[in-house]
Amino acid sequence: MIEIKKLTKQADNKLILRGIDLSIKKGETVAILGPNGAGKSTLLKVLATLIKPSSGHVTINGYDLRKNQMKIKKMMGYLPHSSLLYDHYSPLENLVFFGNVYGIKNVEQKSIDLVREVGLSFFLHEPVKNFSRGMIQRIAIARAIIHEPPLLLLDEPHTGLDQGAINILNNVILSMKEKGTTTLMVTHDFKQATELCDRIIIIKNGKIVDDFRLEEKKLNLVSEKYQLQVEGVS
Amino acid sequence: MIEIKKLTKQADNKLILRGIDLSIKKGETVAILGPNGAGKSTLLKVLATLIKPSSGHVTINGYDLRKNQMKIKKMMGYLPHSSLLYDHYSPLENLVFFGNVYGIKNVEQKSIDLVREVGLSFFLHEPVKNFSRGMIQRIAIARAIIHEPPLLLLDEPHTGLDQGAINILNNVILSMKEKGTTTLMVTHDFKQATELCDRIIIIKNGKIVDDFRLEEKKLNLVSEKYQLQVEGVS
Amino acid sequence: MNTNTARKQASLLKTEPVAEKGTLFPKILLGATAVTVLASIYMIFIFSEVEKTMGVVQKIFYFHVSSAWCAFLAFFVTFVCSILYLAKRKRIFDTYAYVSAEIGVVFTSIVLTTGPIWAKSSWNTWWAWEPRLTTTLILWFIYMAYIMIRQMDGVWDKKARLAAVFGILGFIDVPIVFFAIRWWQSKFHPIVFGNGPSQKGGGITHTMLLALLVSIAALTLLYSYLLQKGVNLENMRIKVSQYKEKLREDMEK
Amino acid sequence: MLRAALLLAKKDLLSELKTKQVLATMIIFAGLVILVFSFAFDPANNTTRAVIPGVIWVIIVFAGILGLNRSFISEQRNDTMHGLLIAPMEASSIFLGKFLANFSMIMIVELVSLPFLFLLFDFHILGYFPYFLLVLVIGSFGFISIGTFLAALSANSKSSEMLLPLLLFPVTSPILIGAVQATRIILTNIEKLSSAMAWIQLIAAYDVIFFVLCFILIDYVLEV
Amino acid sequence: MLRAALLLAKKDLLSELKTKQVLATMIIFAGLVILVFSFAFDPANNTTRAVIPGVIWVIIVFAGILGLNRSFISEQRNDTMHGLLIAPMEASSIFLGKFLANFSMIMIVELVSLPFLFLLFDFHILGYFPYFLLVLVIGSFGFISIGTFLAALSANSKSSEMLLPLLLFPVTSPILIGAVQATRIILTNIEKLSSAMAWIQLIAAYDVIFFVLCFILIDYVLEV
Ligand code: HEM
Ligand SMILES: Nc1ncnc2c1ncn2[C@@H]1O[C@H](COP(=O)(O)OP(=O)(O)OP(=O)(O)O)[C@@H](O)[C@H]1O
Ligand SMILES: Nc1ncnc2c1ncn2[C@@H]1O[C@H](COP(=O)(O)OP(=O)(O)OP(=O)(O)O)[C@@H](O)[C@H]1O
Ligand SMILES: [Mg+2]
Ligand SMILES: [Mg+2]
């Protein structure tokens, strides 16, 4: 699904990504761990076509990231730190707008279903700006998956969610996984990473320092490996 | 330290807080749990003098919230969802500005120390807007504690922090606790709540539904009680 | 906007006490208004004499001056209620301030239409950039801005607070309008009451003065009737939305 | 591509229209701007009449800047701009959508404010009305298209915030100069219509060149 | 209180020095207005002199609004406004700080653009220079102080850019009328200095009343 070769990203003179090589197969659920400022979000942004890499080569589903942006954009759902929602619009209006942008059919019904799924039916018509953090995050998740993308890029998706919403999100990710969706998830929460993912990548200082599969869901293994790699960093 | 009596908050006709009675003693560390949209952040905002309650009575350290705002503001450190930092300014400039606003002495040195403490010495002079989420959160924490307030209001302070930073934050909170600081912390992370706090409050639908002390640090107890109260909510 | 409020006013008059029950007061007010309005019409058109130089057009005078007075009164009520709101934070003051400002805008609009009609026949121009005319226009703009603040998005208490602040600031223009011709020695606009520098124009006789007083009384009564009615309507609207919210909350449980 | 652009324009205009206040706001705004000019320049005075062409374009530029600034800055809250960038729409659609929204807004402002202005300053332009309209439309077109482009540029490139104002005026000044001159000739000196037409042609050529250029270059501007 | 206000003003001005965006917009806009008017009028022509007082205040008003708009909206990013509100400083300090920053900005704009204007129109005002300066300062003072207050008020609205002129123009119009009249008398008709002084007194009185009012009322505006 995703092939990354010698990817680097430089901002001014600062190297943020220093040569990333990575290959992710279709259907995998990959967690990306790493200390603050390691370059995790930057990597996701590159994959989301939001920033151009300085050098290196990326293909997604066979499409070159530089040349076939339109195709890639269509099949990708991206959930960044910010919500990407219009403050003055209600959840429904937001979802309908983005649904239309992605050209999906039967937008209205689909949006209503999604809002119900994330448990905010009662707030369907209220402007998003009055929402609490967790409620905004729920709508943001709905926005990211409205076009049922075969590739999901999630940047700390569990932020601000309560226990119920975490369960909803995990179920969504798992059910999409069953449909064959590939998921990349940046997180600082080892517990969720172990629960959801079958592969863990640790990034430090713009480089991949560890990359292992997680056959049994063992929390200890993850924190051990993380400790080992990141020890003495901050 | 904090006395809340029959506090309600209404936005238009929507009741957000429906009669909160709470009394917190000096030096306590209290975790506030609850589902999304329960009104936790709103409660904190009321205490931070950011919104006026619709009815009810609040005193902090004996000062009335309506009348003695200045005194209360001076002794309160507040960390909300947004960072409250100026994007174009570097961490140093931000901290110096806020330090000056609080009228503390030797601002420059203190700011440098704080930035070092949160592990960002290397970024002392770079504008905050380029920072990663965790880095911003670190500076935001530094901003909230720069005047060594005897009362800390933290709204999901662990958001976006990596393991190292979580340890730093927890140490800061614990060491401030030893100095007698009272802390109110909204969080969705039971683990941190159990580790740090000696009292747990559960809010649901704008009301306090549970309030218990945590003599032994038992994670299970917290999630059990939470489950019990919030069950079937979302 | 202006036509909007005017229409609302019209519908206010038409839709009779369907929902409103209770005290006798509004009915008395309505009766008194009707009687004085009829009386003033009689006074204006039949009782009082026709002015010598201007002729029948001068009859506009009574509407012109009395609606100006009512506009001032309405804005004064807004001013006072705004202060009261900031001090007491009771929603009722806010409602009064708002409704009163809307009515005041309507009256100002009447002044701004009768004025030019009159001006066309007596000064032979629709409009002149003259202190009182300009300041009156500004007054109209200020209270349009006040209404725009009310239309902002957000919770009512925020809007009420900001509007109250602006209601206090904006009122400063009212005395300016009143004194404009007295300070600036206007060439155009006549002064009738008080002693300005140039005591010309007007030439008011006893019958005219009487007619004027009656029509001022009539319009003041009309104003209080409209105010009372508007406040009732607004209160009703608030109650309905409260019930709606309650229903929704019940559903939520 | 057009579909996406229309969607975007609709969204922008709807979010303005939702409150239903826009038109009221604009009318009052226009009235007030004219009020300010009537303080500044005595409308009765005949020489100040000559100000009108200038006033018209000052209004357009000023209202335009307010709108343009907003147009992309409003997409900064919650980074909604990123939402558009990751969506399967071309950068040129975003440009076109924003341009359409801005252009309709400025047209509404002009439609509302200029009649006021003429009324107030007692100006009669019936005969040359089509020409006047033409100047207005192509002048605003150029100003807004370049403005939209540069607003995108300045809103997006994080390091170069001072670009919008610094670039907008110099780049659009040929349009503005041409428009003021053409307006003046049409309104006060209609015999020289041919020279006004020359100005109009100049503006039109400039418009076309820049619109095409913006269309091509917007791809590079809207990279994050 | 003054200390906090100065801190805030310093912060705003420093961040302006870093990005230079607002000041650049204001100055370039001022330049544009001058340019447009110099097309409309032959600067050499003597009768067009009458326009200059108007042009001066048009520049101040419109450039001022561009700056005022920014002043509170810039505090919305990351909710830094809340940072100020929870700090132990009074609302009036915030007002004073913002006022100082805005006032210095507009003074810079005037300082830069007016000499340019006089040069272009070949105007000699040496004799009455102190009076002229006085009018400028107290006129700008009133305009900016009321403007800062209303900017704080309108920042609560979604379309604050449009709301601000709506609120600001009518409330400040007495100041503007007075300032234009006083400027005109001083620049073209110095014999009537006494009537200019009357205008100046009027403006001064208005300034004082409103400054005090704003100072009292800002508490209510800056509640969240
Ligand atoms: C063209 C627009 C006009 C406007 C906006 C206007 C506005 C006003 C206002 C606001 C007042 C009330 C102030 C007060 O009671 O002191 C007033 C009063 C009055 N107006 Fe007008 N007016 C206009 C035209 C005229 C004309 C054409 C005449 C007659 C030639 C006229 C004659 C009067 C008189 C006699 C009063 C009572 C004056 C007093 O003693 O204050 N007005 N006008
Ligand atoms: N435009 C930029 N200019 C300079 N440095 C930048 C820029 N953008 C990002 N950086 C730097 O790149 C580094 C990586 O940022 P990134 O957001 O990818 O971190 P992250 O791994 O997501 O961290 P976190 O866990 O805190 O979210 C940071 O040190 C940041 O300061
Ligand atoms: N201005 C407002 N107008 C209407 N409703 C509001 C307003 N502000 C907050 N609310 C509502 O109040 C409720 C509580 O919000 P609050 O931010 O306190 O929740 P929270 O407990 O912090 O949730 P989270 O865990 O998601 O952060 C939400 O349902 C929100 O929609
Ligand atoms: Mg990140
Ligand atoms: Mg919250």
Nearest-by-Cβ selection for D89 from A83, A85, A101: A101
* Binding-site residues on chain C for chain B (CB distance < 8 A): 155-156, 241-242, 244-246, 249
What number does the ligand 2 atom closest to the CA of A43 have?
A: 18
Interval A113-137 mean pLDDT: 92
Among all residues of chain A, which has the CA nearest to that of B131? A37
Count interface pairs A-D at CB distance under 8 A: 58
State the amino acid at position C110 in one-letter form: I
Protein residue closest via CA to atom 18 of ligand 3: B39
Residue D51: which of E112, B64, E37 has the closest Cα?
Answer: E37
Ligand located closest to A87 CA: 3
Indicate if the pLDDT at residue E62 is higher than 90.
Answer: no
- pLDDT of the residue at D163: 61
Are the CB atoms for A80 and A45 separated by under 8 Å? yes
pLDDT exceeds 70 at position A108: yes
Q: Which residues contact D42 (CB under 8 A, 6 or more apart)?
A: C129, D48, E50
The atom of ligand 1 lying closest to the CA of C119 is: 27
Cα of E94 vs centre of ligand 3, distance in Å, is 27
Instruction: Grade residue B76 by pLDDT with cuts at 50, 70 and 90.
Output: very high
> Looking at residue D22, what is its pLDDT?
66
Q: Would you say the CB of residue A37 lies under 6 angstroms from ligand 2?
A: yes
**In the predicted model, is pLDDT for residue A119 greater than 70?**
yes
Residue of B nearest to A119 (CA): B234
The atom of ligand 1 lying closest to the CA of C71 is 10
A24 forms bridges with which residues in the sheet? A2
List pLDDT tens digits, range C11-34.
434 434 444 445 778 788 888 888
- The answer to whether D56 and D114 are in contact (CB under 8 A) is yes
Are B101 and E90 a contacting pair at CB < 8 A? no
Q: Has residue C160 got a pLDDT over 90?
A: yes
Question: Of A111-115, B196-200, B217-221, C158-162, which range is least confident?
Answer: B217-221
Whether the predicted pLDDT of C6 surpasses 50: no
pTM, whole model, 2 decimals?
0.91
C-beta atoms surrounding A189 within 10 Å? 20
Q: What is the pLDDT of residue C207?
A: 78
Distance (angstroms) between ligand 1 centre and the Cα of E198 equals 24
The highest-level CATH class for domain B1-75+150-157+177-234 is alpha beta
* pLDDT for res C18: 41
Q: Per-residue pLDDT averaged across E81-94, rounded?
A: 91
Strand B199-204 and strand B207-213: the pairing is: antiparallel
Q: Which segments of C16-59 does DSSP mark as H helices, in order?
A: 25-42
Chain B residues with CB under 8 Å of A186 CB are: none
Closest CB to B74: pick one of E11, E15, E88: E88
DSSP per position, chain B:
-EEEEEEEEEETTEEEEEEEEEEE-TT-EEEEE--TTSSHHHHHHHHTTSS--SEEEEEETTEETTT-HHHHHHTEEEE-SS----TTS-HHHHHHHHHHHTT-SSHHHHHHHHHHHTT-GGGTTS-GGG--HHHHHHHHHHHHHTT--SEEEEESTTTT--HHHHHHHHHHHHHHHHTT-EEEEE-S-HHHHHHH-SEEEEEETTEEEEEEE-SS--HHHHHHHHHHHHTT--
Summarize pLDDT for D164-218 with one digit per residue, the tens. Answer: 666 777 888 889 889 988 988 888 777 888 888 999 999 999 999 999 988 888 8
Mean of per-residue pLDDT scores for chain C: 80
**Nearest CB neighbour to D15, from listed A83, A85, A89:** A89
Question: Is the pLDDT score of B67 beyond 90?
Answer: no
User: Between residues D185 and E37, which one has the greater pLDDT?
Assistant: D185
What is the spatial distance between Cα C40 and Cα C31, in angstroms, rounded to a whole number? 14
**Chain B positions in Cβ-Cβ contact with residue E79 (cut-off 8 Å):** 80, 82, 84
Cα B40–B43–B47 angle (5° rounding)? 140
Complex ipTM, two decimals? 0.89
pLDDT bin (cut points 50, 70, 90) of residue A220 is: confident
Asked if the Cβ–Cβ distance from A119 to B188 is below 8 Å, we say no
Report residue E3's pLDDT band, with 50, 70 and 90 as the boundaries: confident
C151 in contact with chain D, both atoms CB, cutoff 8 A:
yes
In the block, tokens 């919305």 appear at E76
Q: Is the pLDDT of residue E36 over 80?
A: no
CA nearest D69 in E: which residue? E161
Pocket test for ligand 3, best of B16, B45, B78, B207 (most atoms within 8 A of CB): B16
pLDDT of residue A234: 42
Report the separation in Å between the CA atom of A95 and the middle of ligand 5, taken as the mean of its atom positions.
Answer: 22
Tallying the residues shown for chain D, one arrives at: 224
Q: Give kind and range of the element (H or E) at residue D100.
A: helix D91-120
Q: Do E85 and B49 contact (CB within 8 A), yes or no?
A: yes
* B101–E78 CB contact, under 8 Å: no
What's the CA angle centered on D26, arms D21 and D28, to 5 degrees?
95
Mean pLDDT on E36-59: 75
Q: Which pLDDT belongs to residue A174?
A: 92
pLDDT tens track for E181-222? 899 888 887 788 888 899 999 999 999 999 999 999 999 998
pLDDT at C193 (0 to 100): 62
Partner residue opposite B11 with nearest CB, options C155, C241, C242: C155
CA C179 to chain D, closest CA, distance in angstroms equals: 19
Instruction: Tell me, using a 6 A CB cutoff, whether residue A38 lines ligand 2.
Output: yes
Q: Is the CB of B132 under 6 A from ligand 2?
A: yes
pLDDT at A98 over 50: yes
pLDDT of B184: 94
- Residue B233 has what pLDDT? 45
E88 at B interface, C-beta within 8 A: yes
Q: What is the pLDDT of residue C196?
A: 44
Q: Which residues surround ligand 4, an ion (CB under 5 A)?
A: A 41; B 132-133
Mean pLDDT, chain A, whole residue set: 90
In chain C, the percentage of residues whose pLDDT exceeds 90 is: 36
Do A101 and D77 count as a contact with CB atoms less than 8 A apart? Answer: no
- Helix ranges (DSSP H) in A102-218: 107-117, 133-145, 163-178, 190-196
Question: Average pLDDT, stretch C23-50?
Answer: 78
Query: DSSP state, E76?
Result: T
Higher pLDDT, E218 or E52: E218
Q: Does A19 touch chain C (CB under 8 A)?
A: no
Give the domain ranges of chain D.
2-222
| E84 confidence band (pLDDT: 50, 70, 90) | very high
Q: C148 vs D42: CB contact, 8 Å cut-off? A: no
**A158-178: average pLDDT:** 92
Q: Looking at residue C198, what is its pLDDT?
A: 43
Q: DSSP readout, E147-176?
A: HHHHHHHHTTSTTHHHHHHHHHHHHHHHHH
Give nearest CA residue, ligand 3 atom 8. A130
Q: Give whole-number Cα distances, E34 to A210, D180, E129, in Å.
A: 64, 13, 20
The tens digit of pLDDT for each residue in A66-81 reads 888 888 999 999 999 9
The better pLDDT of the pair A197, E45 is held by A197
Give the 3-state secondary structure of residue C95: helix
E2: pLDDT confidence band, cut at 50, 70 and 90?
confident
Examine the pLDDT at A171 and tell me if it is beyond 60.
yes
- For residue A210, the cross-strand partners are A202
**pLDDT at C201 exceeding the cut of 50:** no
Quick one: average pLDDT of C54-63? 77
What pLDDT does residue C53 have? 66
Pocket mutation for ligand 2, best pick of A14, A20, A82, A188 (most atoms within 8 Å of C-beta): A14
User: Can you give the pLDDT at residue D46?
Assistant: 66
Contact at CB, E210 and C141, closer than 8 angstroms: no
- Ligand 3 mean position, distance from CA A79 (Å): 22
Q: Which helix (H) or strand (E) holds A6?
A: strand A2-11
3-state secondary structure of D16: helix
In this predicted structure, the answer to whether residue A190 has a pLDDT above a threshold of 60 is: yes
For residue A12, is pLDDT > 60?
yes
| CA nearest to D59, candidates D149, D150, D184, D180 | D180
Mean pLDDT across the stretch B9-31? 91
What is the structure's pLDDT at A187?
93
Band (D127; pLDDT cuts 50, 70, 90):
low
What is the percentage of chain A residues whose pLDDT exceeds 70?
A: 98
Q: Please tell me which of A158-172, C45-59, C239-253 the model is most confident about, judged by mean pLDDT.
A: A158-172
pLDDT of B44 higher than 90: yes
Q: What are the residues facing B201 on neighbouring strands?
A: B32, B211
**Which range has the worst mean pLDDT, A8-22, D30-44, D89-103, E194-208?**
D30-44
pLDDT of D77 reads 82
| Mean pLDDT for all residues in chain B | 91
**Contacts of residue E78 in chain B, CB cutoff 8 Å?**
82-87
Q: Is the pLDDT of residue E141 over 90?
A: yes
Span from the CA of E78 to the centroid of ligand 4 (angstroms) = 17
Least trusted range by pLDDT, from B139-153, C57-71, D108-122, E3-17 = D108-122
Atom in ligand 3 nearest the alpha carbon of residue A132: 17
Nearest CA in chain D to C131: D39
